[in-house]
Amino acid sequence: MVYKWKFQPKGNVSAQIAGECIERISKENKGAITAKKVVKEARPKKSPLHPLFEWDDSAAAKEYREMQAQQILVQLVVVQENGKNDEPVRVRAFVSVEEREGVHYTTFERAMSKPRLRQQLLLRALAEINIWRQKYKELEELSAIFEAIASTAKGRSRTKRRRKAG
């Protein structure tokens, strides 16, 4: 099997080495891999996975709290009472955007009201949909959804070309 990183994590460890190590954990545990087992494997300094982790407890605690804060930001929703049939609609309260100040979170409402931020969200949504589509492309039962995604993406690129030409 060939392993690659989606994004290079800290530690500069080859994806192939990490993947093979985790594959071994899977085989040793009848196919069951847990985060706890990966950490246990990585704990010894000689483990190929060791450099992928923050072992300074103070720094790790800070990183963990920041991850918890990110989870809070992405889990909060706003309930709007203007849905179809008067059913409330749940919308993400905060979204990640990139502005001059860098990448940060802002309210969904603000992002939707600024054309550049709205465009960022739309492009991110389409990219995430394509990732999802690639992940599940073998499931024929989803073909109608895949066709709708492709149709939406084509319509989007035609609109972009018209804007550039005009």
End-to-end CA distance of the chain: 48
Q: List the structure tokens of 62.
A: 């800070």
DSSP structure string for the chain = -----SSPPTT---HHHHHHHHHHHHHHTTT---HHHHHHHH-STTSTTGGGS---HHHHHHHHHHHHHHHHHHH-EEEES-SGGG--EEEESEEEEEETTEEEEEEHHHHHHSHHHHHHHHHHHHHHHHHHHHHTTT-GGGHHHHHHHHHHHHHHHHHHHHHHH-
107-163 pLDDT per residue, tens: 999 999 999 999 999 999 988 988 888 889 899 899 898 888 888 777 666 555 555
Strands 77-80 and 89-92, by their bridges, are antiparallel
Inter-residue contact 42 to 21 (CB < 8 Å): no
The per-residue pLDDT for range 48-103, each reduced to its tens digit, is 999 999 999 999 999 999 999 999 999 999 988 775 677 888 889 999 999 998 99
- pLDDT in the model for residue 156: 65
- Residue 91 φ/ψ, nearest 5 degrees: -125, 140
Query: What are the domain boundaries of the chain?
Result: 15-53, 55-92, 103-166
The answer to whether residue 164 scores a pLDDT higher than 80 is: no
